[in-house]
Chain A
């Protein structure tokens, strides 16, 4: 296993499209590193550049101590798992697993042993003599994972491996991948557009947008302190409420009269936006202490929680996450107050976190 260093990566296609503008990543040995972003953000291109399937226009990629810029994929000693599994349709599971080993020219007994080991890890025993056509989507993806395992590569690259599976299976596979990564201590780079996957799997998450890294941090850091307005609006379901605020009397004051505690070190004379998580707000009875008058626009009853959309006279409605026991009807007159800690505050012009 080895770490991966990506320095000033830039990828421009011949037709002029810039897929990756500027990406720096430092992925540690044995780390499960997730690249998260909307489609077209450059996460897959970055991964393919690490794999050697795309040649970056400029920038360096190091795997371990090796500069791999000009090495073909096969010589980078990495394994990749694809969204569409990419199992060879004419080969049985057993031969699909053995394939990369035979390509390396390993002796037969060793191939046999490694295939059995990977099959045991991914519990593929009964599937070994079937062809991909005879396997379900989940089974195919387990074979694809096992196929990556047998190589004992220096790093695993995962390109949205769970996207094609149904929801239940996806949760199972997520657990399985996390467990496997921990057991092997493998360096793993995992690309996804699904924030739940990113939050639950990643040791660290890189959020990409328009070919640039917006933020790198642990799932908690990314959730608590999104580094930019883009991250604030991207992470969380529903995402942060973005409220335009002014500093007055040592407080942050929104247009609708909502009062927030100010973080230390706020810059002066700049337009600011506070990012407030739905769970940092509270819908109360009208006229409750420190609350501003508001009206319930709609309520989503999710069973374990209720998401209220509330109009409190600000520029836009805010979303509030409440336990299912607190019930207000749509259109009810209520109070709205802030209950969380100091919010993340962004500069309107730079769209970046200022405090």
Chain B
């Protein structure tokens, strides 16, 4: 993970390094810049580093004063505790990780499947009161989750979606669809409608034209949008806390938060669980980073 974070942080500044060398007084300035960036990187990365360290320290080293930065015994005991319960079965945490995968994955797929065609329609067709509709769609995101969580809770209780993975999937999808529509509309606008026109004159229906010509050109945009939706669903805490309670349904964020508190806190376990929790999205974002950057900049530049 450290590798991916380093890469993600240093790709931007790295470009800046070459530029100042050409400026007057370049040398002194670039030294200063490197120094400042190093300080910034340390400040930014230290908590991550500390989390990783804590996750592989033995408990007595975790609580040692003064803190042991380098000289400690490495153990993977905490990671074992994340997945394996004390009785040897599956731990509650591992179940919550699985729940997170299911909920985040399903809601991202749903939001993409619903949002991409909607974005295409808003981009291509003259829809009545299009701007008002798009504004309304966006306005559903104006309120922070914590404001709407009580009414949602009451509604969910009526329809029996409390403490139910489907309930979380639906609410995350509802939150992600507006975002998907807005972001994807930018990407669809970038693809000339003439491709579809030409394909229709060549004998395809409108949907076939979309499917065969526009959709493949949208893949980078879809990847970028899906990553953002996935990150939202993966990290979401408020709804998960209020709408779920049992270990078998809870997602990872409230489960990890639940480890803190009580008489003692097993920081090693918290740190190990946090590392495991942070890993998948980082790895995923790293894998699709090319699409991500191409996608984000493509959407940002207007013709």
Contacts and interface: CB of A to CB of B under 8 A. Distances in A.
Contact of B197 (A86, A99, A104): A86
A100 B198 CA distance: 9
Interface stretch (A76-84, A242-250, A265-273, A317-325): A76-84
Contacts of B216: 90
B213 interface: yes
A40 interface: no
A74 B130 contact: no
Given A73-B200, A74-B204, A82 B126 contact: no
B203 A86 contact: no
B19 interface: no
Contact of B192 (A51, A52, A86): A86
Contacts of A99: 202
Contacts of B205: 72
A84 B203 contact: no
B201 interface: yes
Nearest to B217: A89
A14 interface: yes
Contacts of B202: 74, 99-100, 103
B201 A80 contact: yes
Interface centre among B130, B192, B197, B201 (most CB of A within 10 A): B201
Contacts, number: 58
A80 B196 CA distance: 12
Given A14-B127, A15-B129, A74 B192 contact: no
A78 B198 CA distance: 11
Nearest to A76: B201
Contacts of A14: 126-128
Q: How big is chain A's contact interface, by range?
A: 20 to 34
B211 interface: no
Interface in B158-192: 192
B131 to A, nearest CB: 9
B193 to A, nearest CB: 9
B194 interface: yes
A250 B192 CA distance: 59
A301 interface: no
Contacts of A82: 194, 197-198
B126 A80 contact: no
A80 B127 contact: no
Contacts of B128: 14-15
A196 B301 CA distance: 33
Contacts of A53: 197, 200-201
B230 to A, nearest CB: 28
B221 to A, nearest CB: 15
Given A84-B192, A86-B195, A88-B195, A103 B203 contact: yes
A336 B180 CA distance: 67
B206 to A, nearest CB: 9
Interface string B29-59: 0000000000000000000000000000000
Contact of A73 (B126, B194, B201): B201
B224 to A, nearest CB: 20
Interface in A84-113: 84-86, 88-90, 99-100, 103-104
B127 A15 contact: yes
Contacts of B198: 80, 82, 86, 88
A84 B194 contact: yes
A72 B195 contact: no
Contact of B130 (A15, A52, A78, A103): A15
A74 B126 contact: no
B204 A103 contact: yes
B294 to A, nearest CB: 15
Contacts of B203: 74, 100, 103-104
30 contacts: A14-B126, A14-B127, A15-B126, A15-B129, A15-B130, A17-B126, A48-B197, A51-B197, A52-B200, A53-B197, A72-B205, A73-B197, A74-B200, A79-B201, A80-B201, A82-B194, A82-B197, A83-B194, A84-B194, A85-B194, A86-B192, A86-B194, A86-B195, A88-B198, A88-B213, A100-B201, A100-B202, A100-B203, A103-B202, A103-B204
Interface of A: 13-15, 17, 48, 51-53, 72-74, 78-80, 82-86, 88-90, 99-100, 103-104
Task: Give the 5 A-B CB pairs with smallest separation, nearest first.
Answer: A86-B194, A74-B203, A86-B198, A103-B203, A13-B126
